[in-house]
Structure formats: structure tokens, C-alpha cells
Amino acid sequence: MVRFLLRRLLFAALLVIAVSSGALLLTRFAPGDVTANLGAFAPPDEVARTRARFDLDRSPVAQWGGWALRASRFDFGASFLYNRPVGELIRRAAINTAILAVAALVVATLVGIPLGILTGSRRGAVPAAVRGASLVCLSVPPLLTSLFLVFLASRTGWLPPGGMTSVDVVDASWSAWMLDVAWHLPLPALALALPLAATFERLQSQAMSETIHQPFVVAAMARGVTWRQLLLDHAWRASLRSMCAIYGLAIGALLSGSFIVEYVTAWPGLGRLMYEALRARDIYLVAGCAAMGGLFLAFGSVVADLLLFAADPRVREGQAA
Amino acid sequence: MKTRLLGIVVTAGILAAGYALWQSPGAPGSGGSIGQVQTRGGQLVASIRAVPRSFNRLIAREQTAELLSLLTQGRLVRINRSTFELEPWLAEKWDVAQDGRTFTLHLRQGVTWSDGAPFTAADVLFTLQAVFDPKNESVVAEQLTIDGKPIAAAAPDDHTVVLTYPAASGPGLRLFDALVILPRHKLEAALKNGTFANAWNSATPPAEIVGTGPFTLREYVPGQRLVLDRNPRYWRKAADGTQLPYLERIVLQVVPDQDAELLRLQAGDIDMTQSELRPDDYVAATRAETQGKLKVVELGVGPDADAFWFDLKPEAWKKDPRFAFVSKREFRQAISYAVDREAFAENVFLAAAVPVWGPITPGNKIWFSPNVLRYPHDVNKAKEVLKSIGLEDRNGNGIVEDAQGHEARFTVITQRGIGWFERGTNELRTQLARAGIALEVAPIDNGALIKRMLSSDYEALYYRPLTTDLDPASNMDFWLSSGSGHFWNLPDESSQGREGPAVQDWEARIDMLMAEQASTTDLEKRKQIFNEVQKTFAENLPVLYFVAPRLYYAHNARVLGVVPSVQRPPALWNADSLSVRGGP
């Protein structure tokens, strides 16, 4: 188990290094740079100074080397857009994204898995309607889902149409702030959760329909196990293997899907920060956000492995061997 | 049974959502008459799309920094963004010497900074010292430099400032609208130790930022919002003696997406934005107005129009034979004849635009000349003009070419993601094809576009360069051949006052006329000279303009006292006089 975790941690470190370095170099090689933000007719001196500040006057390799050296000391450079250290910005944004991602994951799990069990084990109008709804949720791009939910919120007034907190909580207590965040959370969380819940539903449904035809399920049925017990204690547990594998990817997908959702719903998270950084070619902020994104992905992968480890005795036995 | 129950629940949910959508909550009150009595108190929420990079307006040039300076700082004089008249501000009155170069400004008595320190002439001298300190590379230094020399200032006493211009200046004191006065007692140390350029950056604690403006910065949450509270020491009072500002607080909420911004405006989640409505949003906004949620106002014709130009820098084309006809004024005149401006307005701006024939639009009431050369839509005339310079369709493929077979086919780049830029270039492609000129449209990222423009790495470009002030003397970089905004023929970085073949005769003439009008103090004479400039420009068409948009602005109907401006910010330029219904 320890060796397994060490291997995973090493993989996570490599992933973070590869993703952030790739992001830095791609931003460097993409047309345009951060100085475009100074305006079309910025004085040449100011342009040169800004290029020097962000090491754009050095070769890409030299720039990467300097950045990697500083990053190894947890100094990720400064952001052009915000004039602040990148580390400070991504810490704050990552917390906000984590709040959103956890909420979306919980919603997607609570909605997607039971519906998947339902559609995988039954036939009829309701499962068919659920399957149809899942396909719609899967095929609608996150931009449209977000805009539709913002539209719905703005027309009905049921939920705040954007942001993470209201302007009225400037002087409010900590508990009022928490309540306010909880009030703003459903809209972006739903925008993120809908396609994910649909993915869970489809996968769970397929896994369930395959499992209930397995000989051990038929045998359990012959032993007189009730249908409910059969589904939850036998078939569902056995079908979890594929679900656990998808969880790691889901955490990564939550982050990448959050780009547009956070942008449209004005949620101040990592996705929106990275989107703005990319638009502005804010090179060190892009690299910092990518590093944090890689960390999220690696974390998701470890979580998936641990879940699989817990759910599937064959994996445990394989590790032990 | 369970299935039926679920069906009932789902149906009820859909019906409830439908009912709520149909009903949708009314505006926070109805009507919105401007004539209502304004009262003190309340909070206004406005959206911004980008965060500020600095709170120091002498260093930062972006729109959010300008907006914050309007809210938190004061100027000696200001240009009223509605009437474009010069108004006294921190300077109560002034005298002009006979030579037209010396201005004696009398500062208001009793004005204090938001932290209670007195505002004096020493602050003005300090600010000018900071502007002209080359280490700071202030973004307003160029505007306050005449004939390459800075404006000199002296303070005979605490409430008098004498400004001496190195030469007569057409705009005169209007130049000082660009200068926010900063507190010497807070920033003198930074200027002395050479860190002024980094002072008051966006990481500075809000309590450190003091000003003489109507509001003070209370909180800045990066990426989310800025909160500004009323400055209790603000000097200005309303005509009825009410202490300004009316508002207790302004919240600037960061909403990066423009679609979401409009939805939140309609929902009453934000009270106003910092930009005019897009043509596509007009219908939705007027519908919200009929429901009493929003007030939509027509700002008039915008002062800036979309521009289309070829790179006229000879070096950029190297030995490309097409430059032989691109560089001819007749070629550009043919394009102007070929474009149906009415159809252009209809298809690109949904008819909310007026035809224009030069960079100065009817929105710039003082400087617009209706008598510049016009090119009425006539495709046959366009073809005739092209033929006169040897361009005709010799091989029958619909595209004109010269005698050597070089086709009039170009790639035009524009900014990706801006609806009217992409529609405009496509409309242009369609219309010019009728005259035999082929355009290939390439929408690209703004950063890449600017880089290619500055390095002359393009054939043609469609964009909207914004002017900083309506007075042409404040936009000399556009008009002068040596200017950094002379984008169709940018000077090399190393060149100082270019001469020779790189500058055409007519460009040299515009240089001469602009220099003359900028140093003339008589407004009527300046107008006459500038009309000549516009005439020369329209004859040579280095940049083609087709239509100028009519601008509309929407704000929540509960906001009172809005005096809209065609310049950004359309409403918050006058923030001290805004109030909200149901405020306190």
C-alpha cells in the first residue's frame, strides 16, 4: 500500500511538472504576448520593460529554467493581470474551485448513480425518460447550460444569477458569509453537475445492466435474495469498479469544465482565473493554474485508485501479491 | 403508482418554472422619472469586466484604472463628458495671460484629502513632478508635453498654481482633464526612493489609497469586486446644498462575460455597466424597459467608427507587386465607392449606425465637418476608378488584376469574438467582391492582432481604435506621421521625425496643419485648419470608415441622476450626482 501511494505521488509530481511546463512553453510560443494588454500604442520602453519583467526577452529554454528553479522553491512568479504573486492567487482560486467541484461532485453522485441503478435494472417509460434527459445533458455544451441557468435565475429570481457572494456581505459575520456562499453555490454547481450526473448515470446504467446478468447475481436470485438486496448489496457493489475508475477523470473534468461555467457565472475559481490568464497571455499565471490543475487531476487519480482499492477485492489481492 | 407520482411532480415542476418565467419579478419600483427628488443613501452595484492592475492613474492606462480615478480622485479641471465643456473642479477659477501660455489657477479653499490632510498647491506641484520624472514613465506625460517640453508649474501660495506652457496650446487647460492630483503626503517617499511607478499597485491595502474624489476604496477582492464608500470629506455640494455624493456606497462587481452581464442587469442584480449596449442586445433591453426594469437611453452617434485600412508602409510589402496599386489613392477611393454604407449599417449594426466618410463622426459635434469628400455608393464608378489605375478583370474570374496578372486579393485580419468586427469584415468581403476585390477574412486573437499591427505583419486590418479625447490636438499620435498611433504607416522605433519617401506629401501636409492647429488658441481658426486636415484625409483615404454606430445605454430604472456620455464610462463619470430610489 505504501509503495502504491509513493508510486502515485511520484506520478502526481511528474504530472504537475509536465502540465505546468507545457502550459508555460505553449503560452510562450502562441502568437501575441502579455504586452498586448498595454494597448496597441504603448511606448516601446514600457513594452520592453514588461517583456523583461516576464523574462520574455530570454530564450524559451532560459525562461523555463528560471521559472522551474523558482517554482521548486514555491515561487511561481508574479501575475501581470493582478500584480500579485501567482501563488497567492491560485491558492485563493483553488479553494473556490474546490468548493464548487465538491458540491458538483456530490450532486452528480447523488443524482447520477441512483438514476443509473434505476435505468440499468428496469425497463419502462421513466427509465427511458431518464436516459433521454441524460443524453440531452451530455450533448449540451457547458456554455449553453451555464447561460441557460443564468437566464433562468435572472428571470425567476430563485437563485442569484452569478458571483460567489452578495455585495451585502461586505460587513457580514463569518456565518452570514457562509450562508451567502451556499446561496450562490447551486447555480454554478448545477451547471457543472448536470453533464457529470448524466455521465455517471450512463456508466452506472451500463455497468448495472451487465452485472445483473452475471452468474453470481442469478445464483443470488435463486437463493431467494430480495430484488432490493440483490441490486444494492450484490450487483451495485460489483458494478462499482468502472465507476471508481471514472471518478478520477471526473475530478479532472470538473476542473476543465469549470473554465466556462466559472466565467459565465462569475465564480472566482481556478477555471476562470486560467481563462483570464490565457486571454491575457499572463504566462506565469497560466503555468501556475496549470500546475494546480495537474494537482487536481493527480489527486482525482489517487482518489479513484483508493476507491477502487476499497471497492474491489481483486485489486487488493493484486496489490498484496 | 410511483411512476404516476413522479410524473405529477415533474409536471408540477415544469409548470412552476414556466409560471415563474412568465411572471418574472417586476422592477424594484416602476417608472423611473428623472424628475424625482434625489436623496442621500443607498448602494449602487455596477459591473466591470476587468480588474484594475494599479490604483495609480498616472501609471496605469486601462479603463478600470480610469474609472477608479474618476470615483476616488480629483482633477484641477474636468471636461464634462456630456457637454464636453471645460468645468472648474479642484481649481475654482483661473486667469489666462495675454500670451495664452500662462494660466493662474485658484484652488478651492477648504478641500481636504479623504484622510483629512489639507489639499494644497504643493500636491499639484508634486503630481506634475511625478508625471515628468522619466523613471515613472507616466502615461499622461506625453499629453502634458508641448513641443517636447513639459508644462512648468509654480505655487506662489498654498491655493494658487501658475502653469506656464512652453508654447501656445489649442486645447489649453483641457489637457489637465487627464491629470488626477495625487497626495504628496502619501506618495512623496515613493517618488524620492524611485518606487513611484509601483506605488498604489493593486496589492496596496485600500486604506492607503486617499483622494479628493467622491468615494474612497474600502475593499478589493481580486477577481470579484471593489467596494467604495462615500468620502465624508468630499468638497462638492448639489445645487440645493445637499452634500454629495448621494450614494453611500458603490460596488464594482467583476462580470467578465458580456452575455451574463446583460442578464444580471435585466435581473436587477447589477444597476449599470461600463459600456454601451451591443446592437444585438438592444431588443432585449427595450423589452426590459417596457417592463419597468431598465431605462434605455440613446447616447447619440459614437465618436469612434470601425476602420478598415491597408498597411501603407512600403517596407512591409517588400517586393510584393500589389503594393503598386494598394499605395494609390484611387484604389482606396474605389473601395469607398464600392461600399453601400446603408446596407453596411443594416447588416452589421442592425441599422443602428450612420454613414461616415472619415475618422471624425457626427458624434464629435465640435470637430465634425459635414463637407468632407463623400463617395456615394456606385459599383460601376468603383470599377471605372480601378480601371483608371490599370486594374480590371482580364481573365473573367470576377477579380480585377493588373497587366501582369497580379490580383487584387488580400487577407484582412480582425479581432476574433467581437460580433460586429466579424460581421463587418464579412459584409465588406461581400460588397467588395462586386467590384472585383477579393478579401479573405481572418479573425484572430486581440493580442496577436496588435502584435501583427505593430510589426506591420498584415495586408489589411479591420478594427476600432478608440480616441482618448474628442479634441484632435489630444490625438496627435494618430494624425502625425511620427505618431505611435499613425497605424497605417507606423514609424520605425528608431526614427525621429521621419522624412523622405516613407512619408507622402499629403501626410507631410497633415503634419504641418496639425502642428499649426494644435498651437492656435482661437477655436474658430482651429476648426478651419482641422477641416482642411479632414479634407486631405478624405481625399487620400489612408483609412476607410463606413459607418459610425448609434450608441444606446441601459441602466436600472431605480438609478437617478444619470447624465449619459458617448465616452466610457457612460454613467459613472458623474458618480457624485447619482442616487438610487429606495436608498436609505
For A29-75, write each residue's pLDDT tens digit: 887 788 877 776 677 777 888 889 899 999 999 999 999 999 888 88
Chain B residues inside the 8 Å CB shell of A45: 137
Indicate the length of chain A as a whole number. Answer: 321
d(CA B125, CA A259): 47
Average pLDDT of the segment spanning B420-444:
95
Chain A residues inside the 8 Å CB shell of B11: none
Average pLDDT of the segment spanning B159-183:
94
Res. A230 pLDDT band, cuts 50 70 90: confident
d(CA B75, CA B212): 9
Q: How many CA atoms lie within 13 A of A177 on its CB side?
A: 5
Average pLDDT of the segment spanning A185-192:
91
Chain B residues inside the 8 Å CB shell of A33: 447, 451
d(CA B131, CA B182): 10
Is A221 or B228 the better-scoring residue by pLDDT?
Answer: B228
Average pLDDT of the segment spanning B23-45:
60
Distance from CA of B258 to the nearest CA of A (A): 9
Residues in Cβ contact with B553 at an 8 Å cutoff, skipping those fewer than 6 apart = B276, B277, B296, B297, B299, B564, B570, B571
% of chain A beyond a pLDDT of 70: 93
d(CA B162, CA A220): 99
d(CA A257, CA A247): 14
Contact A162, B260 (CB under 8 A): yes
**What are the phi and psi torsion angles at B328 (to 5°)?**
-85, 135
Strands B225-230 and B249-254: antiparallel
Lowest mean pLDDT among A73-77, A303-307, B145-149: A303-307
**Three-class SS of chain A:** CHHHHHHHHHHHHHHHHHHHHHHHHHHHHCCCCHHHHHCCCCCHHHHHHHHHHCCCCCCHHHHHHHHHHHHHCCCCCECCCCCCEHHHHHHHHHHHHHHHHHHHHHHHHHHHHHHHHHHHHCCCHHHHHHHHHHHHHHHCCHHHHHHHHHHHHHHHCCCCCCCCCCHHHHHCCHHHHHHHHHHHCHHHHHHHHHHHHHHHHHHHHHHHHHHCCCHHHHHHHHCCCCHHHHHHHHHHHHHHHHHHHHHHHHHHHHHHHHHHHHHHCCCCCHHHHHHHHHHHCCHHHHHHHHHHHHHHHHHHHHHHHHHHHHHCHHHHHHHHC
d(CA A239, CA A211): 6
Which alpha helices (H) appear in B329-418, and where do they start and end? 329-338, 341-349, 379-388
Contact B263, A150 (CB under 8 A): yes
For the cut 80, the answer to whether the pLDDT of residue A301 exceeds it is no
Res. B37 pLDDT band, cuts 50 70 90: confident
Residues in Cβ contact with A122 at an 8 Å cutoff, skipping those fewer than 6 apart = none
Contact A107, A198 (CB under 8 A): no
Q: Say which DSSP state B244 is in.
A: S
Question: Which element (helix H / strand E) includes B411?
Answer: strand B409-415
Distance from CA of B5 to the nearest CA of A (A): 11
For the cut 60, the answer to whether the pLDDT of residue B16 exceeds it is no
A to B CB pairs, distance under 8 Å: 147
**Torsion over CA: B170, B172, B177, B180 (sign):** positive
Which residue of chain A is at minimal alpha-carbon distance from B492?
Answer: A44
For the cut 50, the answer to whether the pLDDT of residue B32 exceeds it is no
Sheet of B102-107: strand order equals: B91-96, B102-107, B160-164, B152-157
Q: What pLDDT does residue B335 have?
A: 97
pLDDT tens-digit series, residues B522-571: 889 999 999 999 999 999 999 999 999 999 999 999 999 999 998 889 99
Contact B218, A170 (CB under 8 A): yes
Packing angle of the helix pair B2-23, A142-156 (nearest 10 deg): 70
Q: A54, A154, A286: best mutation site toward chain B, by most B Cβ within 10 Å?
A: A154
Res. B27 pLDDT band, cuts 50 70 90: very low
Nearest to residue B161, comparing CAs of B151, B147, B174? B151
- 3-class secondary structure, B26: coil
Average pLDDT of the segment spanning B257-271:
87
pLDDT tens-digit series, residues A103-113: 998 999 999 98
**Which residue shows C-alpha cell 468632407?**
B372
Distance from CA of B563 to the nearest CA of A (A): 25
Q: What pLDDT does residue B498 have?
A: 46
For the cut 90, the answer to whether the pLDDT of residue B164 exceeds it is yes
For the cut 90, the answer to whether the pLDDT of residue B230 exceeds it is yes
For the cut 90, the answer to whether the pLDDT of residue B209 exceeds it is yes
Which residue of chain A is at minimal alpha-carbon distance from B255?
Answer: A266
Q: What pLDDT does residue B180 have?
A: 97
Average pLDDT of the segment spanning A231-238:
76
Packing angle of the helix pair B258-267, A142-156 (nearest 10 deg): 20
Chain B residues inside the 8 Å CB shell of A280: 447
Distance from CA of A41 to the nearest CA of B (A): 6
Which residues 274-333 of B have a C-beta within 8 angstroms of A?
none
Which residues 391-410 of B have a C-beta within 8 angstroms of A?
none
Q: Say which DSSP state B229 is in.
A: E
**What are the phi and psi torsion angles at B43 (to 5°)?**
-125, 140
- Least CB-CB distance to B260: which of A39, A164, A265? A265
CA B374 from centre of chain: 26
Q: Say which DSSP state B278 is in.
A: P
Q: What pLDDT does residue A170 have?
A: 67
Q: A49, A86, A170: best mutation site toward chain B, by most B Cβ within 10 Å?
A: A170
pLDDT tens-digit series, residues B111-128: 999 999 999 999 999 999
The verdict on B269 touching A (C-beta cutoff 8 Å) is: yes
CA A172 from centre of chain: 30
Average pLDDT of the segment spanning B365-375:
91
Chain A residues inside the 8 Å CB shell of B451: 31-33, 36
Residues in Cβ contact with A95 at an 8 Å cutoff, skipping those fewer than 6 apart = none
d(CA B429, CA B439): 5
> With a cut of 0.85, is the ipTM above it?
no
Q: What pLDDT does residue B424 have?
A: 95
Average pLDDT, chain A: 84
B465–A40 CB contact, under 8 Å: yes
Lowest mean pLDDT among A293-302, B65-74, B376-385, B549-558: A293-302
DSSP string, B172-201: GGGGGGG-EE--HHHHHHHHHTT-GGGTTB
Which alpha helices (H) appear in B75-171, and where do they start and end? 121-132
- 3-class secondary structure, B44: strand
Which residue of chain A is at minimal alpha-carbon distance from B494?
Answer: A44
% of chain B beyond a pLDDT of 90: 65
**Torsion over CA: B166, B172, B176, B178 (sign):** negative
Furthest-apart CA atoms within chain B: distance in Å? 96
Q: What pLDDT does residue B509 have?
A: 95
Residues in Cβ contact with B98 at an 8 Å cutoff, skipping those fewer than 6 apart = none
d(CA B61, CA B52): 10
Could you give the C-alpha distances from B436 to B151, B386, B430, B432, in angstroms and in order?
A: 53, 9, 10, 6
For the cut 60, the answer to whether the pLDDT of residue A125 exceeds it is yes
Contact B567, B361 (CB under 8 A): no
- Grid coordinates in use for A105? 461532485
The verdict on B5 touching A (C-beta cutoff 8 Å) is: no
Chain B residues inside the 8 Å CB shell of A83: 53-54, 201-203
Which residue of chain A is at minimal alpha-carbon distance from B268?
Answer: A154
Q: B43, B49, B51, B53: best mutation site toward chain A, by most A Cβ within 10 Å?
A: B53
Q: A38, A54, A82: best mutation site toward chain B, by most B Cβ within 10 Å?
A: A82
Q: What pLDDT does residue B18 have?
A: 47
Strand partners, B579: B560
Q: What pLDDT does residue B2 have?
A: 45
Q: B269, B453, B461, B478: best mutation site toward chain A, by most A Cβ within 10 Å?
A: B269
- Least CB-CB distance to A157: which of B25, B61, B253? B25
Distance from CA of B21 to the nearest CA of A (A): 6
Instruction: Tally Cβ neighbours within 10 Å of residue B339.
Output: 24
Average pLDDT, chain B: 88
Task: Report the first-to-last Cα separation within chain B, whole angstroms.
Answer: 54
For the cut 90, the answer to whether the pLDDT of residue B392 exceeds it is yes
Q: A47, A56, A83, A90: best mutation site toward chain B, by most B Cβ within 10 Å?
A: A83
- Least CB-CB distance to B445: which of A32, A147, A152? A32
Packing angle of the helix pair A283-311, A270-280 (nearest 10 deg): 150
Is B233 or B466 the better-scoring residue by pLDDT?
Answer: B233
- Least CB-CB distance to A154: which of B50, B137, B263? B263
Chain A residues inside the 8 Å CB shell of B271: none
- Least CB-CB distance to A40: which of B203, B267, B450? B450
- Least CB-CB distance to B227: which of A92, A163, A170? A170
% of chain B beyond a pLDDT of 70: 91
Which residues 44-83 of B have a C-beta within 8 angstroms of A?
45, 50-51, 53-54, 61-62
**What are the phi and psi torsion angles at B560 (to 5°)?**
-115, 155
**What are the phi and psi torsion angles at B250 (to 5°)?**
-120, 130
A156–B3 CB contact, under 8 Å: no
d(CA B32, CA B21): 24
Distance from CA of B172 to the nearest CA of A (A): 24
Average pLDDT of the segment spanning B185-194:
96
Task: Report the first-to-last Cα separation within chain A, whole angstroms.
Answer: 11
Q: What is the CA radius of gyration of chain A?
A: 23
**What are the phi and psi torsion angles at B340 (to 5°)?**
-85, 100
B454–A40 CB contact, under 8 Å: yes
Which residues 19-38 of B have a C-beta within 8 angstroms of A?
20-21, 24-25
A92–B222 CB contact, under 8 Å: yes
The verdict on B416 touching A (C-beta cutoff 8 Å) is: no
Res. A2 pLDDT band, cuts 50 70 90: confident
For the cut 50, the answer to whether the pLDDT of residue A87 exceeds it is yes
Average pLDDT of the segment spanning B425-432:
96
CA dihedral B471, B475, B476, B482 (to 10 degrees): -170
Q: Say which DSSP state B567 is in.
A: S
Which alpha helices (H) appear in B410-445, and where do they start and end? 419-433
Question: Which element (helix H / strand E) includes A135?
Answer: helix A125-139
Distance from CA of B248 to the nearest CA of A (A): 13
Which residues 426-465 of B have a C-beta within 8 angstroms of A?
444-454, 465
- Least CB-CB distance to A32: which of B62, B260, B447? B447
Indicate the length of chain B as a whole number. Answer: 584
Q: What pLDDT does residue B25 have?
A: 36
The one-letter code for the residue type at A18 is: A
Which residue of chain B is at minimal alpha-carbon distance from A93?
Answer: B223
Residues in Cβ contact with A195 at an 8 Å cutoff, skipping those fewer than 6 apart = A137, A138, A140, A142, A145, A257
- 3-class secondary structure, B384: helix
B447–A281 CB contact, under 8 Å: yes
The verdict on B222 touching A (C-beta cutoff 8 Å) is: yes
The verdict on B475 touching A (C-beta cutoff 8 Å) is: no
Give pTM, 2 decimals. 0.79
